[in-house]
Amino acid sequence: MDISGNRFSGEIPFSVGSCTSLENLSVNGNSFIGNIPPSLSSLKSIKMLDLSSNNLSGQIPEYLENLSFLGFLNLPYNHFEGEVPTKGVFILLLSSVCFIIVIKRRRKPAQESSSMSNLEGQFPMISYAELSKATNGFSSSKMIGQGNLGLVYKGMLNEDLMLVAVKVINLHQKGASKSFMAECEALRNVCNRDVLLKHRF
């Protein structure tokens, strides 16, 4: 269910919890208030939950730790307080990795002879906040791909008006680290120099 980017307000309906077979729920980019409803603990099949960019408050409920299929949880740009749970999906959030494919505008021929070291100097490290902003809080509306190991989002870095693709890999899954390094190596060997790889751990 995707109702992101609308003008819904009030509290998240308690009845959402009755949709027990729901796998994806995205309500980001609205004006919902109040606590995360306890009824969401009934969403035993939920895989992706995006509550970002609302006006939610209170504590992050511990029952989210027990949603065994939940692999993607997005909560930024709310007003939560208290301690963050440390089990379940919250472990995955701490053991995830993002990397970005930055698609540059084509340079003039005179620039094509510059070294990769010079290119890398043109791209400062990119923070999580910048990635979140570029992808509207990792909104499902910005998702352009999904694989066994993670999700891919498109976005625009406002400062440089640069189109990016952001891949979020869950390192908790078997083979994820090896797959990530293989993709990094493949992208480093791409002949098209208008593609630059940047990654953060």
Which residue, among 126, 167, 98, 133, has the nearest Cα to 28 in the 3D structure? 133
Which residue, among 103, 156, 96, 91, has the nearest Cα to 130 in the 3D structure? 156
- Distance CA(201)–CA(5), nearest Å, equals 29
Which residue, among 143, 122, 141, 137, has the nearest Cα to 198 in the 3D structure? 122
Domain 95-200 CATH class label: alpha beta
Query: pLDDT confidence of 83, banded at 50, 70, 90?
Result: low
Where b means 16+ CB within 10 Å and e means fewer, 96-134 reads bbbbbbbebeeeeeeeeeeeeeeeeeebeebeeebbbbb
Q: What is the domain partition of the chain in residue ranges?
A: 9-92, 95-200
Q: Sheet containing 96-103: which strands, arranged edge to edge?
A: 143-146, 150-157, 162-170, 96-103, 195-200
- pLDDT digits 0-9 by tens, 156-201: 776 666 777 777 766 666 666 676 666 666 555 544 444 444 443 3
Most trustworthy range by pLDDT among 61-70, 90-99, 115-124: 61-70
Q: What is the CA angle 136-139-142, rounded to 5?
A: 90
Tell me if the domain spanning 9-92 has CATH number 3.90.79.10: no
- pLDDT digits 0-9 by tens, 105-127: 434 444 444 444 444 444 455 66
